[in-house]
Homo-oligomer: A and B are copies of this chain.
Amino acid sequence: MPSYDWERPLQDLKELAELTGGPDGARRLAWSEDWRTARKWLLGKLEETDATVERDVAGNLWATIPGASDKIVVVGSHIDAVPNGGWLDGCLGLLAAVEVLRAHAGETPQVTLKLVDWADEEGARFGRSLFGSSAFSGSLDPEGVRGLRDAEGISIVDALAENGVDLGDALGATSRQDRIAAYLELHIEQGPVLEAEGVQAAAVSGCAGVQRHRFRFRGQSSHAGTTPMDRRRDAGLAAAQVALRVEEVGAQHGGMATTGSIVLFPGIPTAVAGEAELLVDLRHPDAGELAAMLADARAAAEAAASRRGCEFEAESVWAIEPIPFDAELVAMASDACREAADSDRVLASGALHDAAEVARVAPTAMVFCPSIGGISHASEEDTAEPDLIAAIEAFGLLANRVLST
């Protein structure tokens, strides 16, 4: 058994929060000066492990401890954060991975051990999540993202170039797929389930699929004071009705269904809304259920539009199919959670992770630990220390077992 210190990643996390956080939360926006500072700090930590560090053409950072076999086990996560983010999202998994490398420093493990820090998991600046891991899996479409700009109008192409990444070359990262036997990632749940159930660490069965659509309703804008109630074609009320129905669809199918954005036009108190846009985000780990949710939501929208004399059209904004993780690795993760945290809980992730991209091309598993109040992407993001330690231990046990099989 290598010499792990389950508490050391906590000290590392606090050090990183000191360096790139503060009362307003994390400052580690991908491709920014702050992010480069965080990565420079990470390089210092990796020096303790004697690992060989390289960057791939998509900006992902890799650290390697060569093993007896050229079969590869990868541990990792991401150091980037949303603006004003928390101290655990991404970093927890990355520092737990550093600890795995530290524990094997100076050894020659049975298989080659690699750490990866995926570039731009959050997509907070350009709206494109999982940049580095999707370049690695090959699902990135460089031409599809070439036109993206940040809030200040800076092109993604220029921001990447500033960080030594040529967008046109990014798919070269797919060459790293070879010989990967397992990818393991620890992450906070970012939801309230584990905390509510009193579970310290749980295996993740896979990532839910997502169907995100823009529902557009076109009625007739008219004067709020002169248009009788029975002569209105109120697109805003059509959208409101559908939002409520979408909520029911989520509950009925055991998935997640959210309408976090409703925009009305002209959007003034003195006019009936002539147009409304509703963003519908549907998630389910089962592809059939997800398709049924979308069909139900669309049918509700068509019915509401027709009842209110509105036109309806739907536009797909983004979609990803459910991605199940590797059954054998998930079972091993569950065993590790039982040992470290006395937990048999296996849950699907409703949030996306780099692991979902990796799972397209290599056997993958994840471990989750609770998030207090389910809060993430905010400076209040936190997890009780005993839970963090238990989850880091579960992750370390899992890594050990995978390394020795």
Q: List residues of chain B with CB within 8 A of the CB of A192.
A: 222, 226-228, 231
Instruction: State the copy count for this chain.
Output: 2
Task: Confirm or deny: A66 has a beta carbon within 8 angstroms of a beta carbon on chain B.
Answer: no
Q: In the complex, what distance in Å separates the CA atom of A191 from the CA atom of B244?
A: 30
Whether, in the assembled complex, A271 has its beta carbon less than 8 Å from a beta carbon of chain B, the answer is yes
Q: Let me know if A189 is at the binding interface, CB within 8 A.
A: yes
Pairwise interchain contact B269-A193, C-beta atoms closer than 8 A: no
Interface presence of A212 (CB below 8 A) = yes
A268 and B261 form a contact (CB under 8 A): yes
When A260-B270, A267-B260 are in contact, do A191 and B227 touch as well, CB less than 8 Å? yes
A225 B283 Cβ-Cβ under 8 A? yes
* Chain B residues near A263 (CB-CB < 8 A): 267
**Residue pair B256, A229 in contact (C-beta under 8 Å):** yes
Asked if A258 CB lies within 8 Å of chain B CBs, one says: yes
The answer to whether A262 and B262 have CB atoms under 8 Å apart is yes
Task: Give the residues in chain B near A267, CB-CB below 8 Å.
Answer: 260-261, 263
Residue from A237, A243, A349 having most chain B Cβ neighbours under 10 A = A243
| A256 CB to nearest chain B CB (Å) | 6
Is A369's CB within 8 Å of the partner chain B? no
> Given the known A-B contacts A279-B269, A317-B269, are A190 and B229 also in contact in the complex, defined by CB atoms under 8 Å?
no
A19 within 8 A of B: no
Is A180 close to B, CB under 8 A?
Answer: no
> Which B residues are in CB contact (< 8 Å) with A223?
190-191, 350-351, 374, 376-377
A329 CB contacts on chain B under 8 angstroms = none
A258 to B219 Cα, complex, angstroms: 14
Flag if A269 contacts B264 (CB, 8 Å): no
Contact (A269, B273) CB under 8 Å given A226-B189, A231-B192: no
30 contacts between A and B (CB under 8 A): A190-B226, A191-B222, A191-B227, A192-B222, A192-B228, A192-B231, A193-B226, A222-B375, A223-B350, A224-B281, A225-B283, A225-B351, A225-B352, A226-B256, A226-B351, A226-B376, A229-B247, A230-B251, A236-B259, A236-B260, A236-B262, A237-B244, A240-B241, A240-B244, A241-B244, A260-B266, A260-B273, A261-B264, A262-B262, A270-B281
Using A190-B226, A350-B223 as known contacts, say yes or no to A262 and B279 having CB atoms under 8 A apart: no
A336 near B: Cβ within 8 Å?
no
A312 to chain B, nearest CB (A): 17
A234 at the binding interface (Cβ < 8 Å): yes
Bound complex: CA A349 to CA B374 (Å): 51
Residues on the B chain within 8 Å of A236, using CB:
243, 259-260, 262
A96: Cβ under 8 A from any B Cβ: no
What residues of chain B lie closer than 8 Å to A191, measured between beta carbons? 222-223, 225-228
Measured between beta carbons, the chain B residues less than 8 angstroms from A237 are: 243-244, 247, 259
| Residues from chain B with Cβ under 8 Å of A350 in the complex | 223-227
Nearest B residue to A188 via CB reads: B226
How far does the alpha carbon of A192 sit from the alpha carbon of B232 in the complex, in Å?
A: 10
A81 at interface by CB-CB < 8 Å: no
* Nearest-Cβ distance from residue A386 to partner chain B, whole angstroms: 22
Indicate with 1 or 0, residue by residue over A246-257, a CB within 8 angstroms of chain B CB atoms.
010011000011
Q: Determine if A63 is an interface residue (Cβ-Cβ < 8 Å).
A: no
Q: Which of A182-219 contact B (CB under 8 A)?
A: 189-193, 196, 208, 210, 212
Interface pairs A-B: 7 shortest CB-CB: A191-B226, A225-B350, A240-B240, A224-B258, A269-B279, A225-B351, A226-B350
